[in-house]
Amino acid sequence: MPDMPRHNVGVEYAGEHIAVSLEFRERKRLSISVHPDGSVTAIAPAGRPMDDILAHLRRRRAWIAKQRRHFEKYQPLPEEKRYVSGETHMYLGRQYRLRVHRSDDTAVRLVGRFFNVCVPTPKQPRAIADALGTWYRSHAEPLFYDHMNRCLATATSLRLVDIQLRVRPMKRRWGSCSKAGVVTLNTDLVKTPLHCIDYVIMHELCHLRVHDHSPAFFRLLRRCMPDWERRKGRLELVVLR
Per-residue binder mask for Zn ion (CB under 5 A), 33-72, x = binder: ---------------------------------------x
Binding mask 205-234 for Zn ion (x = CB under 5 A): ------------------------------
Asked if 34 and 40 touch (Cβ cutoff 8 Å), the reply is: yes
Phi first, then psi, for residue 6 (nearest 5°) are -95, 145
**Which of residues 6 and 168 has its CB atom nearest to Zn ion in the complex?**
168
The contact mask relative to Zn ion for 66-85 (x = CB under 5 A, - = no) is ------x-------------
Angle between helices 215-224 and 194-207 (to 10 degrees): 130
Residue 126: how many CB atoms within 10 A of its CB? 10
- Closer residue to Zn ion (CB): 113 or 168: 168
Q: Rank residues 72 and 130 by Cβ distance to Zn ion and give the closer one.
A: 72
Please state the φ and ψ torsions of residue 132, each to the nearest 5 degrees.
-65, -40
User: CB neighbours of 211 closer than 8 A, spacing ≥ 6?
Assistant: 179
Residue number of the CB closest to Zn ion reads 72
d(CA 196, CA 168) in angstroms, rounded, equals 17
Least separation in angstroms between CB 204 and Zn ion: 7
Cβ-based nearer residue to Zn ion, 83 or 228: 228
Binding site for Zn ion (CB under 5 A): 72
